[in-house]
Structure formats: C-alpha cells, structure tokens
Structure 1
C-alpha cells in the first residue's frame, strides 16, 4: 500500500534568558553539534537560524517530512527591536531556562512578547528546563521550578544534553507532530 507523503515547513523560535543554553539545544536538535563539544558559552548576537530536515514522522498513515527552522534568539534584551520581525510566520516556541540559574518568572517577558501577543497557542509551546554541566538532571531543582501561570499548561521537559539528549529529541519530534496535527485540523475546519 502506497502511503501519502507530505512535506511541511515549520518555524520554531527558541527563546529564554541569557546563558540558558538555547544555542546548545538548537545545535543539538539540528544535529549541528555532538554532545562532547558542548560547553563553552558564546553569546548569540540577535538571532541565528539552524535549518534541518526532521526525521520522517508518521501522522495518520501519512509520511511527513518537516523542514525545520529553529530561530535561536539572543536572550539579551538589547535586541528587542528585532522581535516584531522574528515573530513573523512562527509555528511554535521553545522556551529554555536553566533551573539552576533561572526562575519561572524569567520566562514572563518571552511569554508576553512572543506568545500572548501573537497567534501562537499554548499547545505550540515547549518549555525546556536545561540543566548544564556534568551532573544528571536534578529532580529537586526541577520540582522547585514554578512556571508562570499562563505557561502552566505548556509541555515542560527537563534535560541535560550530556546525559539525556535523546529524550529531548523524542520530545521535540512529538512537539513537531502536535504542531502539524493542529495545523491540519485547523485547515480541515475551513
């Protein structure tokens, strides 16, 4: 039996405070870096785009190939004048925080400016609590991390790329599938 093949393109913003690990996560998901080369901090200037083709995903018997653009945005607020252009045509948002350094309230500015003031639904938001360094995910720090109320229904995952990167890739693929399914359902309703 021949299955339908669908090609889709998705723009995903990667946002959060300075030094939360947004670039490491973007590079890792885009397979532009391996875990062993993670570590040295280099500030992102404005935005950089990591493009890749996701692994083929099967949705309702159709093979979906997804061209992904991860827009790795600087956490430095001096680039806020660029935010209106960055928000154009976005399909989803990944909010990144380092639970050892950040609090849930550190995500408020990103929620307010990129989700509340856009057409992005909370279902198209993935929160990544990115623990860095050699240790494995610290359950105590994760359980103490409180998301702001508007983000409480967003999918939230904890990871340490050095030890649990593959789990993040699986969560990300699931996140992409939800976005595609919602887009298809929305298109079918018109």
Structure 2
C-alpha cells in the first residue's frame, strides 16, 4: 500500500478523492463525495487511526488470505475500524486479494468465529 514518509514518519495517504455535485445530471440530484485513505496496515501508526476514522461512513479491509498473520490482523482491523466506531457490518467491505501469479485457495478460506457475522452481513470479494 502506498504511504508517504517525511523525516522517517509515515503520513497516512489519501489515495483517492471524488466529488460529484449531483448524480442525476440535474441540479436536484443527490451529491456524492468520498475519500479513500491508506493507513498502511502497520499498528505502529495506530496514533493516526482516529483521524482516519473521524466522520467515516464505511471501511474497506484488504488482506492476503495466503498470509496466516493477515487472518488474525483482519479481526483487529474489524474491531478497531468497524465495531468501535460503531459502524454496521453492511458498511464494511472485506477484500481477499492474492498477489498476481499466486495460486491461492479462496474456496477453503476460514476467517474464524469473530468474522463469521461479517461474512453474512457484508460483501466479500475474492
């Protein structure tokens, strides 16, 4: 994930900003504005998380199911970024991503008891 460094300190990076005043093409349509932020996936930047979570309406958690450590880490991310805000499970998108060329097995992916509810109430993409 991209991150900027300044004097050896990580700065959370806004990787996308989108704004459209009206979605229907007329002046009466509802507007849309969103930002995506990369918080690096490293707990040493935990002090930045409250600023990233402020006023958020959803969370995207991306992980590599081939790495056993990621299966534990997604529980921590879910707890911090979804449950403690609080957001609904339906406001969380869980993405299992394999590096190109890997032969990952998503058919038998086991995320553990804590994440079972998220799977049934969220969207999961492989």
TM-score (norm 1): 0.50
User: Is 1:47 aligned to 2:25, yes or no?
Assistant: no
Write 1 or 2 for the structure with the bigger share of helix. 1
Q: Distance in 2 between matches of 1:134 and 1:57?
A: 38
Distance 1:57 1:95 in 2: 26
Q: 1: distance between equivalents of 2:44 and 2:107?
A: 32
Task: Return the offset for 1:94.
Answer: 0.4
**Structure 2 residue runs without a partner (length 5+):** 5-9
Structure 1 equivalent of residue 124 of structure 2: 156
Greater relative CO (CA pairs within 8 A, separation 6+): 1
Q: How far apart are 1:48 and its partner, in Å? A: 0.8
Alignment of 1:114 onto 2:78: no
Unaligned runs of 5+ in 1: 1-22, 24-41, 159-190
TM-score normalised per structure 2: 0.72
- Count of aligned positions: 111
In structure 2, the residue matched to 1:93 is 59
Report Cα offsets for 1:155-189 as digits up to 9, x if no partner: 1001xxxxxxxxxxxxxxxxxxxxxxxxxxxxxxx
- Root mean square deviation of aligned Cα: 2.6
| Residue 71 (str. 1) matches residue 37 (str. 2) | yes
Aligned to 1:143, what secondary structure does the other structure show? coil
Aligned partner of residue 132 in structure 1, secondary structure? coil
Distance of 2:107 and 2:23 partners within structure 1: 31
Give the Å deviation of 1:106.
2.3
1:9-62: per-residue Cα shift (whole Å, max 9, x none)?
A: xxxxxxxxxxxxxx4xxxxxxxxxxxxxxxxxx5563411121247x867xxx8
2:110 matched to 1:146? yes
User: Equivalent residue of 2:79, what SS?
Assistant: helix
